[in-house]
Structure 1
Amino acid sequence: MSENKTKPSETPAAELIAAVEHPMRRADGQTLLEMFQRATGYAPVVWAPAIIGFGRYHYRYKSGREGDFLATGFAVRKRNLVVYIMPGYADYGAILDRLGKYKKSKSCLYINKLADIDLTVLEELILAGLRDLNKIWPVQPA
């Protein structure tokens, strides 16, 4: 059985954001850090290698695999910002329709820059994801 390689680290989230080279990405990362903290009420935890997570949950699949993972969070990448909504985006079409410019995969939302989206709608999406995740696996502080 494979183990989840994404685990909490000791790196401070502010240090990770400060190390972002591109000034606009660094500023967007700081904005997301503040927004996620305010919206979730959870302290940021850097999950290796470079995801800033808020809250955590313990999962146990029918296969027997289990572990802990971040409940929601984001990463500042060279090409874009990545927002993680753990229940996935399948049921959030009405919210996403109001968000702005983005791309998505199952649990990842890719945003070029925060100026492309409505931050109030992003916060609504984050809270909806946490609420839905909590129905499956209880979310706890990290």
Structure 2
Amino acid sequence: MTTKNKTNETEVDVIDFINSFVVTDQKKADSLQLIALMSEWSGFEPKMWGPTIIGFGSYHYKYASGHEGDAPMLGFSPRKAEFSLYVYSPTKENEHLLEGFGKFKMGKACIYIKKLADIDIDVLEKMCRASIAYLEEHHECACRQK
């Protein structure tokens, strides 16, 4: 029972998206820094997922309900009010890492930050790498094809 996801990989150019969507210089600079960091940590080039998510790599998930689809291994969206970071997997290590992460709010599927200066980049890297390892272990993951 594969249903069509709302958020799929697109052909939109990531830098064109940043230049047309992100309005402040600080958010543009932070977005470009996140692209460089997440590309390095994941080993994947950035791709647009849906209209506003920049994703790196992909994995296939399948829930007990039968719903399945693909999602980026790591990602973020430079939304107007704050960044949405899609980097968190439910591991003991990540729960522990949140303690030293900095200023953020936790959503159901993402972490919200205002700017990169509010968080510890080393902790973000550890969280991203732990999430990739979690996805490799629990899902069909593009990280395996490398």
In the other structure, the counterpart of 1:102 is: 104
- TM-score, normalised with respect to structure 1: 0.91
Query: One-letter code of the match for 2:79?
Result: R
In the other structure, the counterpart of 1:30 is: 32
In the other structure, the counterpart of 2:119 is: 117
Structure with the bigger percentage of helix: 2
- Runs of 4+ deviating beyond 4 Å: 88-91
Q: For structure 1, which runs of at least 5 residues remain unmatched after alignment? A: none
Corresponding position: 1:14 with 2:9: no
- Residues 87-113 of structure 1: CA deviation (Å, up to 9, x unaligned): 347752211111111001122000011
Are 2:88 and 2:111, in contact at CA under 8 Å, matched by a contact in 1?
no
How far the C-alpha of 1:133 sits from its partner, in A, is 1.4
Structure with the bigger percentage of strand: 1
How far the C-alpha of 1:21 sits from its partner, in A, is 1.1
- How far apart are the structure 2 equivalents of 1:95 and 1:114? 16
How far the C-alpha of 1:3 sits from its partner, in A, is 2.5
How far the C-alpha of 1:86 sits from its partner, in A, is 5.4
- How far apart are the structure 2 equivalents of 1:90 and 1:109? 16
Percent of aligned positions with the same letter in both sequences? 37
- How far apart are the structure 2 equivalents of 1:76 and 1:40? 19
Partner secondary structure for residue 73 of structure 2? strand
**Among 62, 87, 92, which residue is 1:60 paired with?**
62
**Among 32, 40, 43, which residue is 2:42 paired with?**
40
RMSD: 1.9
- The aligned length equals 142
Query: One-letter code of the match for 1:110?
Result: Y
How far the C-alpha of 1:18 sits from its partner, in A, is 2.0
- How far apart are the structure 1 equivalents of 2:78 and 2:107? 16
